[in-house]
Amino acid sequence: MNEKIRMLDDRTVEVNLPNVLGYERIAMECSASFAKIGGLVKERIEDLKTAVAEACLNAMEHGNRDHPDSRVIITMYLGDKDFKVSVMDAGDGMSIIPQHIDIKKKIEGLEPPNGLGLFLIQQLVDQVEFKKMNGGGHVVKMVLKMEN
């Protein structure tokens, strides 16, 4: 598998992943290492890792529809006051972004047990934007603020 990691400039890293479940962990670890350099605290690094993993999984399964030739591109920017991550796929994005989870309905079988990823992303990062791109594709932009 040809995953590619490169520095676009001294504050920006790009990870270009094949559309393979499990490879989201490369993006998780890369973002964690980069954010640690910037001083993001341990608890927030765990939040970042889960948010990045869920955005990548969503991109692979729903955006790229498990298509083996598609790619997931993760761009990370280390700012002075925040850490930004975008996850891009070839899809159209989601029509509905769940704002809350009704666990009781899931337990009772009234809703499918899955569909937790987007909810978790919104809970774990400070800002998130789901955006359809003009030239095709979809991007999830996430921001975590550095704490002094």
List of residues contacting other proteins (CB under 8 A)? 21-22, 24-25, 43, 46-47, 50, 53-54, 57, 101-104, 106-109, 112-117, 119-120, 123
CA distance to 4, 36, 87, per residue, from 9 (Å): 15, 18, 18
Helix (H) or strand (E) holding 136: none
Give first-to-last CA distance, the chain, whole Å.
39
Structure token digits, residue 123: 């809970």
CB of 109 to other proteins, least distance (A): 6
Based on CB atoms, which residue is closest to other proteins, 12 or 18? 18
CB of 136 to other proteins, least distance (A): 26
Nearest in space to 29 (alpha carbons), one of 11, 19, 17: 17
Based on CB atoms, which residue is closest to other proteins, 24 or 138? 24
Based on CB atoms, which residue is closest to other proteins, 17 or 53? 53
